[in-house]
A and B are shown apart, each in its own frame.
Chain A
Amino acid sequence: MTIEFGNPDRPNSYIGKTVPRPNAGRLVQGRGRYVDDIVLPRMVHVAFVRSPFAHARITGIDAGEAKSVKGVLRVFTGKDIAEVCTPWVAVLAHLKGLKSPPEYPIAVDRACWVGEPVAAVVATSRAAAEDGSALIDVDYDPLPVVTDMMSALDADTPVLHEDMGDNLAFRRLHEAGDVEAAFKSAHKVVSTRFRTARHTGVTLEPRSILADWNPAEGQLTAYHATQAPHMIQTVLAEHLGVPEGRVRVICGDVGGSYGIKVHVYPDEVATAAIAKIMARPVKFVADRLESFTTDIHARDHEIEARIAVEEDGSITAMDVDDWTAIGAYSVYPRTSAIEGNQVVNLCGGPYDFKNYRAQTTVVFQNKTPTCQYRAVGHPIAVAITEGLVDQAAAELGMDPVEIRRRNMFRDDAYPVTSPANMRFEALSHHASMNKLMDLMDYDGLRAEQAELRKSGIHRGIGIASFIELTNPSPFMYGIGGARISAQDGCTVRMDPDGSLVALSGVTEQGQGTEAMLSQIVAEGVGVSPDKVRVITGDTQVTPYGGGTWASRGAGIGGEAALQSARALRESILTVAAAMLQTEQSRLDIRDGQVVDTATGESRMPLEEIGRIVYFRGDTLPKGLPRELVQTRHFITSDYPFAFTNGVQASYLEVDIETGVVKLLKHWCVEDCGRIINPQLVDEQIRGGIVQGVGGALFEEIHYDGDGQLLNGSMADYLVPMAAEMPDMVVGHVETPTKESLLGAKGAGEAGTAGAPAAVMNAINDALRPRGAQITEMPFTPERILRALGVLKD
C-alpha cells in the first residue's frame, strides 16, 4: 500500500521536491567534523607495520630500536592483540560451502598479503608512530605465493591456507531450464570472454577510527568513518569481549564510502583493542598507500559467457562461467562471496528467457581481500549481459535497441520471477527505454554517427539496460547468521518550540540521507523541512538499524521516518483535539500549524501544543495520551529485494590512431520508485556513472607475480577527473514499490551498475566497422590499439 504523493498542491508537499541539504552549508564552510578532525584529551596515534611480502611466515619481531624513538609509547604484535581480541571467520550459512580461515587484527605468525598488519606502534603523534614503525625489525620467511586466479585450483598450485584443504572459497552453480538443448537448437550462439579489473574505492577521506576505552565506565566509544555503526558496535563488542550495550559507535561526517567503509578492517579492530589495553583514546587514519593496500578491492573477475538467440532476436539461453579471486581472506562479516553470487543472480536480468546457467568460482590468493563495493556484482553482470546482447544483435544485423525491446520483460508482465530466481515486483524497462530514446534523440545520433564515419571519425553509441538490487531484506545477510540489520528505525520527537528531531538508524556519507529524512518527516508531520533536525550515526542515540548500504537508506530508513512522522502527527492531533474540544478527524497539521482540515484555517501553532504538554500538562484531561515522541521500524517482507531498473547510453569517439576514448555524452533513465528529492537522486546517478566510467576506462590495481601491488598511489591508480567526464542527462520513470507507504526504492548504485557496459558497447559500436572488439576492462588506449591490430606482440 503506497500513498499518492503526486499532487504538487497538497499540503506540506516536500516529498518529491528539491530542497537544500541541511548539512551542506556546514561542509562548504570547512566546518565538517570527520574523524581526523576530532582531538581527545590524552589521545595517542597508532601506525602499523605492514607485511612487505605477499606470503611469509613471521619468525621474529624486534621492537628495541622503535621504542627508543621519542614519543613512541608501546609496540604491539599480533600475539599481544590476540590476547584481548578474538579472531573472526567470514562465512555465511546461506552461501553453502563458503569457507575462510580465522583472521586476526594483526597477523600472528603468517602474513598473507602485502599490507597485512604485522605490528602496531603507538606514539604521541602520528609522525613519531611512523618513525617508530620504520624501525621495527621483522624477520620473515617467505612462503610460496598464489596470485593467478585461473590456476588457483590447479593441482600444482600451492594451497594458501593449509587447513582449508584447497584454494576454493566458494562455488555456486545455478541452472534453470534446459540450457544445453537451447544452445544446440539455437539459430545463433555468441560467446565471449570478459574481464573486469581489480578496483578499489579511493574515498578521499581515508579509513579512520578514533577509539576510546573508559575503564571507569566500562565503555568503548569509537568515532568511526563507517556506513554501518550498529554492525560495528556488535563486532567490536563480540571480539573485544565488551557487552554490546557498552560499545558506542559515533559516525559523524564521512568523506566518501561507496561500500569501502561498510566492512570490518583488521587495523581498525586492532586500534580499538589497543585503546582497550591502554585505556586512552587511540587514533588511526590510513595514509594513501595503506588505503590502496588495505581498503577492500573489488571486481576482479574473468568470465566466459555465451548467449543463444533465435532469428528474430529472441534470447533462448545464457550460460555464464564466472571466476573471481578474493585475496587471502573472506572479509568480515559480509563475506567475499557475495559479489560472485550477485553475478549469478543478476545476469540476464532485464530479459524474459527460460534457460539459464551460471556458475561462480571464488578462489583465494595472496592479494588484498576483495569485498562489496558500490553496485556489488552489477557492473560485471550488466557488462556480460549487455555485451552479449549487443554482439548477438550485430550478428543478426539487428539494431541494439530493437533486440532489447524484443526481449525485455513487458511492463505489464509483473510480478515475475527471472530465470535466476529473482522476483520482480514491478519494473519499467520499456517505458525507460522509450524515455531514453527521446532524451538522446537516438535516431538523430545514429544519423550523425553514420555521417561522421564517412570522414573517418569513429563514434559509437552504447546502450545498457540493467536491474539493480535495493532495499535488501534479511535474505541478504541475516539468514546467513550475520548480525546485520535489514530493519531500520526512526524516532521523531516534537520539542516545546514545535520543532522536530528525527533520529534515524541509516547514515549519511554525503548522499543526502539527512535531507531526504527531513523532507519525509516534514511532510509526515506537517512542518517545513527546516524545522526538522536529523540525527544519525550514534548507536547510543538512534534506533538500531543497518546503516547505509545496498541502496537502502531511502527505501527502508525513509519508510521508518514516514511511519514515525505520521504516528507523531496523530499524537499531536490527539492533544490538539482535546485542547480545541473538537474531533481529531477535523484537524490537520500544515506548515507548523494545527488547522481545520476543511477550511485550512489556522487553529493553533505547534509551539502552543508544546507549551501546554511540556509545561502545563495539568490543564489537559487526566489520562490523555501526550506522547510527543514516536518510533517506528520498517522491514521489507513481501520481496527479498526491491529491484529497480534503468537503461544507460554512452556516446563517445574513439581515436583509432591513439586508442584514446573521448566521452561525449551520457544518459541514464532509471526507475527507483518514489523520488523523494530529484536533485539528490540525479546526483547519486551522476556520481555513480562516473565511478562506473572509471572502471570502464581507467581503474585497475596491478600486481606482479610475487603479489606486489604496483600502483599504490593516486598518481598511478587513475580515477576520473573533471576534464575527462561528459555531461550526463538523467531521466526517471517512477514505479513505486507497494511494500511501503513511501514507495521508494534505492538509487545509489544504478549509475555504477550500467555505465561500464554502456561505455563498452559504445566503444565496440565505434570499432565494429574495423572488425575489432574489446571486452577486457579498463579499455585503455593500449588495449584498444591491440584490438585494432595496431599494436601487436
Chain B
Amino acid sequence: MSEAFRDRIDITLTVNGEPVEARVASGQHLTDFLRLELGLTGAHASCEHGVCGACTVEVDGAPIRGCLMLAPQADGAEVWTVEGLTDTAAIQDLQEAFVAKNALQCGFCTPGMLVAAKDLLSRGGIPSRQEIREHMSGNYCRCTGYEAIVDAVETVAQARAGRGAA
C-alpha cells in the first residue's frame, strides 16, 4: 500500500437518514466504513471482490456493492443499510416474508438479499419466478438453495400488486 493510499479524506454523507461527517482512509471501502466506523454491522464482508452480494447496500437509490465502492466515493451520497431500512419499515413486508418462508438460514447473505429484492420490487409489477431468480443471481446464498428466497420475493410482489396474500 503506497503512502498516498494512507491519506485521509473528509467526507459528508447521509447514512440511514442521519448526517455523517467523517475522516476516512482513502483506501477504505464502504462496507468497512459502515461496519468499523459507524458500527452498522448489517452489511457483511464476504468475498470483497464484488461477486457475492453480501455487502449490498443502497446508495442514492441503487443497490451497490459496498466492497467495490470506496468510502470517499460516498461523499455527498445517501446511503441506506438494512438497519435504516428496518427502522423506517421500508422493507417490513419483505422481512416478514423472509421469516415466514424461512428464506434465510444463517442470515449472512440476508441483508444483501433484501436490498437486491427491494430494488426488483421497486420496479413494480409481478416478476416471474425466473425473473426473480435472474435478478437475485448477483447474491450468493450457500444455505437455502434459493427457492424460499424466490418464494418470499414472489409473495411480496403479489401482495404489493394487490393480488394474492402476503
Contact = CB atoms under 8 A, between A and B. Distances in A.
Main SS of chain A's interface residues? loop
A691 interface: yes
B41 to A, nearest CB: 4
A70 to B, nearest CB: 8
Contacts of A721: 137, 140, 146
B21 interface: no
B109 A683 contact: no
B35 to A, nearest CB: 8
A29 B27 contact: no
A656 B143 CA distance: 31
B105 A722 contact: no
B12 interface: no
Interface string A7-39: 000000000000011011111111111101100
Contacts of B79: none
Interface string B31-57: 000010000111111111101101000
Contact of B48 (A254, A287, A686): A287
Nearest to A257: B106
A723 B137 contact: yes
A510 B105 contact: yes
A657 interface: no
Given A687-B143, A715-B51, A719-B140, A24 B133 contact: no
B15 interface: no
B105 A37 contact: no
A253 B145 contact: no
B130 A30 contact: no
A252 to B, nearest CB: 12
A479 to B, nearest CB: 32
B49 A719 contact: no
Interface stretch (B58-66, B70-78, B147-155, B156-164): B147-155
Contacts of B6: 70
Given A127-B27, A691-B142, A288 B100 contact: no
A34 B43 CA distance: 11
Given A36-B45, A287-B48, A204 B145 contact: no
Interface string B97-118: 0111010111111110010000
B140 A205 contact: no
B147 A32 contact: no
Contact of B110 (A27, A715, A727): A27
B82 to A, nearest CB: 4
A28 B42 CA distance: 9
Nearest to A134: B1
A515 B102 CA distance: 11
B52 A714 contact: yes
B90 to A, nearest CB: 12
B108 A686 contact: no
Contact of B149 (A27, A127, A714, A722): A722
Nearest to B86: A29
B14 interface: no
A205 B44 contact: yes
Nearest to A260: B142
A683 B100 CA distance: 12
A373 B137 CA distance: 25
B58 to A, nearest CB: 13
Nearest to B107: A27
B105 A683 contact: yes
A36 B42 CA distance: 11
A494 B100 CA distance: 28
A28 B140 contact: no
Nearest to A253: B107
Interface in B13-29: 25, 27-28
B10 to A, nearest CB: 19
A287 B47 CA distance: 7
Interface string B111-139: 10010000000000000011011101101
B88 interface: no
Contacts of A59: none
Given A287-B48, A687-B143, A204 B104 contact: no
Given A510-B105, A683-B102, A728-B147, A204 B48 contact: no
B137 A34 contact: no
Contacts of B108: 32, 34, 203-205, 255-256
Q: Report which residue of A70, A205, A206, A287 has the largest number of chain B beta carbons within 10 angstroms of its beta carbon.
A: A205
Given A24-B104, A37-B41, A205-B46, A30 B82 contact: yes
A385 to B, nearest CB: 24
Contacts of B109: 204
Interface in A207-252: none
Contacts of A510: 104-107, 143
Given A30-B42, A30-B82, A256-B142, A20 B104 contact: no
B99 A24 contact: yes
A509 interface: yes
B23 to A, nearest CB: 15
Contacts of B104: 24, 27-28, 510
B102 A24 contact: yes
Contact of B49 (A33, A134, A713): A713
B141 interface: yes
Nearest to A692: B145
A204 B106 contact: yes
A257 to B, nearest CB: 8
A725 interface: yes
A512 interface: yes
Given A204-B108, A255-B44, A512 B143 contact: no
Nearest to B142: A256
Contact of B44 (A21, A25, A204, A715): A204
A595 interface: no
A725 B133 contact: yes
Contacts of A255: 44, 46, 106-108
Given A30-B86, A127-B27, A256-B106, A725 B145 contact: yes
A787 to B, nearest CB: 27
A33 B98 CA distance: 19
Contact of A714 (B49, B98, B147): B49
B146 A683 contact: no
Interface in A81-127: 127
A131 interface: yes
A723 B133 contact: yes
Q: Report which residue of A683, A686, A691, A715 has the largest number of chain B beta carbons within 10 angstroms of its beta carbon.
A: A683
A679 B129 CA distance: 20
A127 B44 contact: no
A576 interface: no
A47 interface: no
B7 interface: no
Q: Report which residue of A70, A512, A725, A728 has the largest number of chain B beta carbons within 10 angstroms of its beta carbon.
A: A725
A521 interface: no
Contact of B25 (A127, A288, A722): A127
A30 B112 CA distance: 10
Contacts of B95: 25, 28-29
A204 B42 contact: no
Given A722-B149, A722-B150, A714 B47 contact: yes
Nearest to B105: A510
Contacts of B136: 722-723
A641 interface: no
Contacts of B145: 683, 686-691, 720, 725, 728, 751
Given A30-B81, A722-B136, A723-B130, A256 B102 contact: no
Contact of A205 (B106, B111, B149): B106
User: Closest 5 interchain pairs by CB?
Assistant: A30-B42, A27-B107, A255-B108, A510-B105, A510-B106
10 contacts: A29-B82, A70-B6, A205-B46, A205-B106, A255-B106, A509-B105, A714-B49, A714-B51, A722-B132, A727-B147
Given A24-B99, A202-B140, A510-B143, 19 more contacts: A28-B95, A28-B104, A29-B95, A30-B110, A204-B108, A205-B44, A256-B142, A288-B49, A509-B105, A510-B105, A511-B105, A687-B145, A688-B145, A713-B49, A714-B47, A714-B49, A714-B52, A722-B137, A751-B145
